[in-house]
Amino acid sequence: MALLMPPTARDIRVNQPLPRPVFDVYGHCLAGAGEMVETRRQADFLLRYGRVEYGGLDHTLGLDLEEFRDDPFEEIGHLGLMLQDLLRHACADPVGLPERLMPLVARLGSTVERDPESVLAAVHLHQALPLPAAHGLRTALLCDTVAAGMLLDRPWRRSLVCAALTANVGMFRLEDRLNRQQTTLTPEQKHNLRAHPYHSVELLRSAGVRDPRWLRAVEEHHERFDGSGYPRGLSGESICFPARLMAVADSYEAMVGNRAYRRAHSIHDAQRELYARAGTAYDPHCVAAFIKHVGIWPPGAVVRLSSREIAVVVARGEPTTHPVVAPIVDAAGHRIYRVEYIDTGDQGAPRIKGAVPSDDFRADLDPAPLWGYRSVPGWRR
Ligand SMILES: [Fe+2]
């Protein structure tokens, strides 16, 4: 069988016959060509879990096989290595940074467009990425997912992603040290931390960056809505919109990620903190947009079901209070090695009872098969 890839909205329309067959990730036919898609829920299901044959150059999508990278988890790992090299190189010799960054930004954007569910899963399962590039890459992935959900245009998204990826380039070595440091900051470290937006902008200018939206977002990414941020103490809408959105994504990523000096916050604690500080630290519109597009139960969240199973969220639901989940531990506490999806919005389906720390399962969880990118020998279905 040809390579299978996720369908697009052009392939699956309510009250229209399917133009081509839709398969599951294992190549079993879910619906044949010509079959009618009768409900929105059927369409959503096929869009989320279906795969269509990909036969080389696809003019409808503007992708070719050379550019197509099937597994987003692998792709995000490659992007992390690229970013790490690029930032390290930029500290020694900034010239050419924008040209070297653009292929990474293009690949990141196409990964977000192709499969935002897997992108969010990689963020929330804390996919291993090289430090200190990891924080910038995850923040950029979150920003671009939210920006894509808000239907912001491509040049705007590009500036936002460039800013998120390079916001801390002015303290690349310090950030690496701080991620590992378990003691309080020295006065010199504090000074450098507060000055890093200026240092980053200075380095980007010397690298040849001329995009004012990119530069301004980097300079203002630690400003706070109530004027309590740094370096200039700007407030409200005098802070540019990309910086206000980055502030939310940057703080959320820092909260849900592990650091040497503390364990990760749960997703709900992080969301509660964003809501609690909406209108003070953060722009309330940015907080609302962020949570709407990331989801109350984002992909990668580990949850306990009313059936007493433990499951991982694989797709944001409609509404996001009712996501699609895949059980990973049964009610008796045994690990499940088959892939099965439950739409918690279905009548009679188990309900989500609460979050479970994902740390307990992360080491044992290979995400690619759960998101339909690879089957593993021995997995049943
Ligand atoms: Fe920063």
Compute the distance from residue 104 Cα to the ligand 1 centre, in Å.
20
**DSSP type of residue 58:** B
Compute the distance from residue 195 Cα to the ligand 1 centre, in Å.
10
Tell me: pLDDT of 276 over 60.
yes
Question: Given pLDDT bands bounded at 50, 70 and 90, which one contains residue 262?
Answer: low
- Residues of the chain with pLDDT > 70, as a percent, come to 88
Compute the distance from residue 224 Cα to the ligand 1 centre, in Å.
12
Compute the distance from residue 97 Cα to the ligand 1 centre, in Å.
18
Compute the distance from residue 236 Cα to the ligand 1 centre, in Å.
19
The structural domains of the chain, ordered by start, are 3-54 (no CATH), 72-294 (1.10.3210.10), 302-370 (no CATH)
* Count of positions (residues) in the chain: 381
Range of lowest pLDDT (64-68, 144-148, 365-369)? 64-68
User: Are residues 98 and 209 in contact, defined by beta-carbon separation less than 8 angstroms?
Assistant: yes
Compute the distance from residue 286 Cα to the ligand 1 centre, in Å.
18
Please state at what angle helix 116-124 crosses helix 72-92, rounded to 10 degrees: 70
Q: Determine the pLDDT at residue 63.
A: 38
Compute the distance from residue 268 Cα to the ligand 1 centre, in Å.
23
Question: Given pLDDT bands bounded at 50, 70 and 90, which one contains residue 133?
Answer: confident
Tell me: pLDDT of 225 over 80.
yes
Report how far apart, in Å, the C-alpha atoms of 39 and of each of 19, 30, 42, 45, 80 are: 16, 15, 5, 10, 40
More confident residue, 107 or 11: 107
Q: Determine the pLDDT at residue 20.
A: 85
Q: Determine the pLDDT at residue 98.
A: 93
pLDDT (mean) for 234-246: 97
Question: Given pLDDT bands bounded at 50, 70 and 90, which one contains residue 23?
Answer: confident
What tokens does 371 get? 């998101």
The per-type count for the chain, helices as H runs and strands as E runs, is: 14, 9
Compute the distance from residue 246 Cα to the ligand 1 centre, in Å.
10
Compute the distance from residue 350 Cα to the ligand 1 centre, in Å.
41
Q: Determine the pLDDT at residue 260.
A: 60
Compute the distance from residue 300 Cα to the ligand 1 centre, in Å.
25
pLDDT, one tens digit per residue, over 178-195 is 666 677 878 887 888 889
Compute the distance from residue 46 Cα to the ligand 1 centre, in Å.
40
More confident residue, 191 or 174: 191
Q: What is the pTM of this model?
A: 0.79
Compute the distance from residue 98 Cα to the ligand 1 centre, in Å.
19
Instruction: State how far Cα 231 lies from the chain centre.
Output: 28
Compute the distance from residue 177 Cα to the ligand 1 centre, in Å.
14
What tokens does 318 get? 């409609």
